[in-house]
Amino acid sequence: MEYSFAGLPLHVLLVHAVIVLTPLVGLLLVVLAAWPAARRVLWLPALLGAALLVPLGLITVEAGKWLEARVPEAPLIQQHTGMGEELTPWLIALLAVAALVAVWALVERADSRRASPMLSRGVRIGVAVVLVLASLAVAIGATVTLVRIGEAGSRAVWEGSFSEDPLER
């Protein structure tokens, strides 16, 4: 498969979307887990964003492998591409937590429409705490992994290819 667009490697274009969306979805999940009013309104965009990230991340990794085969061999590039797949489990975990937040939002909605709600305050608080902890764990894990991979990619591209002094170009 060809992983280029308008003459540019697709990896270089897609990676920016993954870099922006991953921490954004993670942060949104933390907010939704902790804030019931936001959860009632934003659970669907969070679920859709997390669902979009999984195939986007997989395509970005594949496009990176395609690109690696077309550039000169270098240890830094091999290190970066070797780390690329580490993000996939985190993206799946973000999707799983987004699904849990969505299910909880729907359960809360159904319970609030009952003549006599069944969910106690303790249950609501307990589930919220679990969702906040799960959201924090996957948001932090995904973001840290993303930063490590991105830093390795930046080093592979830029290390030794520019001068600190503009007069030494």
User: Chain-centre distance of CA 127, in angstroms?
Assistant: 23
3-state SS assignment for residue 117: coil
Tally Cβ neighbours within 10 Å of residue 59.
16
pLDDT at 163 over 70: no
pLDDT in tens, 12-30: 899 999 999 999 999 999 9
Buried b (16+ CB within 10 A) or exposed e, 101-139: bbebbeebeeeeeeeeeeeeeeebeebbeebbebbbebb
pLDDT in tens, 28-49: 999 999 999 999 999 999 999 9
| pLDDT for the residue numbered 169 | 59
Alpha-carbon gap, residue 87 to 55, rounded angstroms: 12
